Amino acid sequence: MKGSAPYKELIDDIHGVIVFLVEPDEFGVWRIQHASKQVEVVTDCSVDQIVGKKPLDLYPVPIQHLDQVQHLQESWDRCIQSKKPLIFSENLTFSNNKSETWWQSTLNPILNEEGEVVRIIYCAINITEQRKIEQLLRQSEQKFKTIVNDQTEMIVRWQPGGIRTFVNKAYCKEFGLSMEEAIGTSFYKQVNEEYLDLVKERIENLSLEQPVSTASHMVKLDDGSRVWQEWTDRAFFDEDGEVIDYQSTGRNITDMVVQNQKTLEQVYESVESERSRIAADIHDGLGQKLTAALFTARSLFLNEQSKQGLKEELVEILKEALDESRTIARSMIPKSVEEFGLEASLRDLMSHTEMSTGIKTEVEIKTKNQRLPIMFEKHLFRIAQEAVTNAIKHAEASTLSMKFKEDEHSLWMQVKDDGIGIDIVGKEEETTLGLRSIENRINLLNGSVNISRNSPQGTTVDVKVPLE
């Protein structure tokens, strides 16, 4: 057939790929007109032996291979009818080669001026090794998934935005989700609202230099309950340093957190008890002795007027010592909390602060006038007291305000000053210990605290505690 020569020359220059030039004979039967040298390697037949054969004659026809031959025939027919190139993969065993191999085949139809298919160039590339590698990878992936699914810790693979691409059985059991429900959706909706921004910020800070981070936070389960979980997040990056995806491993630490809270609660109860004892000792022991010393010093005025200056100095020192002992006792045990409740104690705290320091104070308290558990009230009072103490000692403030509100579900308290503004980094240990004390007490109450530096000056401590 005229016009085949250029294709034959092109095929002769091709190495490592099976190429057939197929054209119909006078009876319309498609036969091989030319083939590349690679055919001889695969079939153990020379090009001359192959020319004139039908393409399907090169394939075996035992019953176990009939489906392969049928698939190939359908592919040829589809290519001729559509007049468009067709790409497909096939598992073949050539007639003179018993080894089974995988091939990626392409049928390229050549049309004449009338738009009829007059010849087809068939190209096939051996992809057996590639398929073996893919099979090994699938097997390896399946083994990995089996191992991961057997883990008692939660494992989740996810993309930016929290979109889950894989979860194991432990993860599904913890959150009450099926794999179908979890995959393709974001886990951010499970994170408790007060921790969501912190979780996102921690993830955004993952980098090539620091790709792993571990932290704990509270999450919401489908049944409405809240639990504590600890998560280790690992970011994976491409060659350009861009995030590909993440993998996180987590565990439920609710029992541990509850136990730690109980232990801390016991510690604070012991501290409160010890404060009470020390306050009583100061009041009953040191305070009474100072009072007696003060009366004694005053009596000196009646007897020795010549030592007036010394006497006045002694009296002043003793008065200051007595006032200080009372202040210490007052701060050690806020009896008004137990006797009069939290609101009265907070107002008394601010009133005493203004009287003793000269700092102008403002108080706005809106409560339902009902008592809370005594340790709950004491923790809130100590939090307020610590915030006020920090403002007095470190803020150099001229005004100090406190707001306290209560609704059906939570308590909110804010302590705000107009001082120099807090900078935790580089602050003395006393300050950071005070802030840690606030955080510890907040954790005991399952609440949240935010300490921020105001603009242009001052510090705000916001506390939120659930009542549920």
In a domain, 421, yes or no: yes
Find the mean pLDDT for residues 32-53.
84
Do 378 and 465 lie in one domain? The reply is yes
Task: Give the residue from 252, 274, 302 where a domain finishes.
Answer: 252
Do 240 and 359 lie in one domain? The reply is no
- 283, 286, 288, 291 alpha-carbon torsion, rounded to 10°: -120
Better pLDDT: 253 or 455: 253
Better pLDDT: 65 or 241: 241
Find the mean pLDDT for residues 132-151.
74
What pLDDT sits at residue 336? 67
What are the φ/ψ torsions at residue 207 (nearest 5 degrees)? -145, 175
* pLDDT tens digits along 67-115: 777 777 888 889 989 999 998 877 665 544 556 778 888 899 999 988 9
Contacts of 42 (CB under 8 A, 6+ apart): 18, 94, 97, 101, 126
Q: Could you tell me the CATH number of the domain that includes residue 50?
A: 3.30.450.20
Do 386 and 401 lie in one domain? The reply is yes
Do 226 and 106 lie in one domain? The reply is no
What pLDDT sits at residue 232? 93
Task: Give the residue from 298, 333, 368 where a domain finishes.
Answer: 333
In a domain, 164, yes or no: yes
In a domain, 139, yes or no: no
Do 438 and 391 lie in one domain? The reply is yes
Task: Encode 318-360 in three state secondary structure.
Answer: HHHHHHHHHHHHHHHCCHHHHHHCHHHHHHHHHHHHHHHHCCE
Q: 3-class SS at 107?
A: strand
Do 383 and 454 lie in one domain? The reply is yes
What pLDDT sits at residue 193? 81
What pLDDT sits at residue 426? 47
> Considering the entire predicted model, what is its pTM?
0.42
User: What's the CA gap between 408 and 467, in Å, rounded?
Assistant: 8
In a domain, 137, yes or no: no
Total Cβ atoms within 10 A of residue 70? 11
User: What's the CA gap between 198 and 296, in Å, rounded?
Assistant: 61
Better pLDDT: 420 or 145: 420
* pLDDT tens digits along 219-244: 888 777 888 889 999 999 988 888 99
Do 122 and 166 lie in one domain? The reply is no
In a domain, 136, yes or no: no
* pLDDT tens digits along 399-419: 999 999 988 888 999 999 988
Q: Could you tell me the CATH number of the domain that includes residue 416?
A: 3.30.565.10
User: What's the CA gap between 459 and 85, in Å, rounded?
Assistant: 72
Task: Give the residue from 333, 349, 371 where a domain finishes.
Answer: 333
Do 23 and 109 lie in one domain? The reply is yes
* pLDDT tens digits along 275-284: 666 666 566 5
- 449, 455, 458, 464 alpha-carbon torsion, rounded to 10°: -20
In a domain, 26, yes or no: yes
Do 396 and 467 lie in one domain? The reply is yes
What pLDDT sits at residue 314? 65
What are the φ/ψ torsions at residue 19 (nearest 5 degrees)? -135, 125
What pLDDT sits at residue 441? 82
Enclosing H/E stretch for 63: none
Structural tokens at position 213: 């981070």
Better pLDDT: 270 or 437: 437
Better pLDDT: 326 or 394: 394
What are 42-50's contacts with CB under 8 Å, separation 24+?
A: 42/18, 42/94, 42/97, 42/101, 42/126, 43/94, 43/95, 43/96, 43/97, 44/96, 44/97, 45/96
Query: Domain range holding 279?
Result: 256-333
Which DSSP letter does residue 140 get? H
Do 77 and 93 lie in one domain? The reply is yes
In a domain, 138, yes or no: no
Do 380 and 451 lie in one domain? The reply is yes
Q: With 80 as the cut, is the pLDDT of residue 186 above it?
A: yes
Better pLDDT: 247 or 368: 247
Do 82 and 35 lie in one domain? The reply is yes
- Total domains in the fold of the chain: 4
In a domain, 168, yes or no: yes
Q: With 70 as the cut, is the pLDDT of residue 332 above it?
A: no
